[in-house]
A and B are shown apart, each in its own frame.
Chain A
């Protein structure tokens, strides 16, 4: 089997944003996602949760172009007014066709 270079886009945001972010990702072409509930704090906190340091961590496996597209879309929509960070890392996967939209 051959390893293929892909990106893992990670988004850490206030929980209220998760559902809109997942919709955007799906609209752009992401095929799946993983969401975990995490705790943390960042610079310029604007979080709106009842429990202030509660955050959602969303992870998406995507080919590099799509990863960039997702990050740009989120930056444009949410950076100004919400607590959100996003970064991508290099990963290697098997079965790249699993991450393609049919």
Chain B
């Protein structure tokens, strides 16, 4: 397939079209939005489904197969927050705190981008390794912690009066990241899947797999509406952040695909790892950043991850990483 055909196939996939419908809905100022509880329920369903499936497949993988990809993922998790911070500081000329806040988002992962990448490679007739959800959980933590640590250090340096009570906040943040919705669902699902194995998974499989794609379409519709409501903030954040919101995923995604290929992942696996590295968290990171770096402007990080980076990855980034992975694999 040529690059153009791949882009077209992706653009005409149900999830991308549903996402675009969500944006159009918002642009037309329609009242439509999914009930908040349904949105949360769909999120729980989707994440638990990938956790369970990933756990079952993990129970059939060996340590040797996972070791190098896991190592590559941890390297990515440590590099991406630092590179994002430096790019935001040097190219974007953001203040230290805002740059650290943005880096926390680009250092951690958007689970929805991960799911979208898996759907895309399936459409291309490839599969990713079954242990990819495990890598997703590995990539989530270091990124957000490193960026928040940079921010907290800079903040303490700038303002020595902020120290009382900060210890308590730090452990609260740690608690929040570890017990955040996506972590509990993913890690919990992985552990359950790993313990029960393929045979015990059979009876619940129809529920979690048959409805998965349909649920994803509904979820992406609401995400389009949420992203659409952020579009008006694009003017506030300015061109440099929009540009960086595209540049960083390209850089991180490319690095992810290279590391994926180097560590022995298939074309599908390398594409998914690239998409994970390229993605910016918009569920786990914002509350953690809001509590740790209160001076950072939420409009910057939410608009960048929701209204710029997520749509970019969904429409262009993922096919791009796929093409790169294909090229690397020869």
Contact = CB atoms under 8 A, between A and B. Distances in A.
Interface of A: 14, 16, 20, 46-52, 54, 80-82
A48 B298 contact: yes
Interface stretch (B45-53, B192-200, B284-292): B284-292
A16 B287 contact: yes
B226 A82 contact: no
Given A81-B294, A81-B295, A48 B302 contact: yes
Contacts of B287: 16, 48
Contacts of A50: 226, 282-283, 286, 302, 306
A16 B290 contact: yes
**Majority DSSP secondary structure for residues of B touching A:** helix
A48 B229 contact: no
A47 B295 CA distance: 12
A46 B298 contact: yes
A16 B291 contact: yes
A47 B298 CA distance: 7
B36 interface: yes
Contact of A82 (B36, B289, B294, B299): B294
Contacts of A14: 290
A51 B294 contact: no
A49 B287 CA distance: 8
B233 to A, nearest CB: 9
B123 interface: no
B9 interface: no
Contacts of A48: 286-287, 289-290, 298, 302
A-B pairs with lowest CB-CB distance, top 7: A81-B294, A48-B298, A48-B290, A16-B287, A16-B290, A48-B286, A81-B295
Interface of B: 36, 172, 226, 229-230, 282-283, 286-287, 289-291, 294-295, 297-299, 302, 306
Contacts of B298: 46-48
A51 B226 contact: yes
B103 to A, nearest CB: 16
A82 B226 CA distance: 21
B201 to A, nearest CB: 31
A46 B297 contact: yes
Which of A47, A50, A51 has the most B CB atoms < 10 Å from its CB?
Answer: A50
A49 B297 CA distance: 12
A91 B299 CA distance: 38
Contacts of B226: 50-51
Contacts of A20: 172, 291
A44 B291 CA distance: 18
B110 to A, nearest CB: 12
A17 to B, nearest CB: 8
Given A46-B297, A46-B298, A51 B290 contact: no
Nearest to B291: A16
30 contacts: A14-B290, A16-B286, A16-B287, A16-B290, A16-B291, A20-B172, A20-B291, A46-B297, A46-B298, A46-B299, A47-B298, A48-B286, A48-B287, A48-B289, A48-B302, A49-B286, A50-B226, A50-B283, A50-B302, A50-B306, A51-B36, A51-B226, A51-B229, A52-B229, A52-B230, A54-B36, A81-B294, A81-B295, A82-B290, A82-B294
A14 B290 CA distance: 10
Contacts of A16: 286-287, 290-291
Nearest to B165: A77
A47 B294 CA distance: 11
A51 B283 CA distance: 11
Nearest to B169: A20
Nearest to A52: B229
Contacts of A81: 294-295
Nearest to B301: A48
Given A48-B286, A48-B289, 15 more contacts: A16-B286, A16-B287, A16-B291, A20-B172, A20-B291, A46-B297, A46-B299, A48-B298, A50-B226, A50-B282, A51-B226, A51-B229, A81-B295, A82-B290, A82-B294
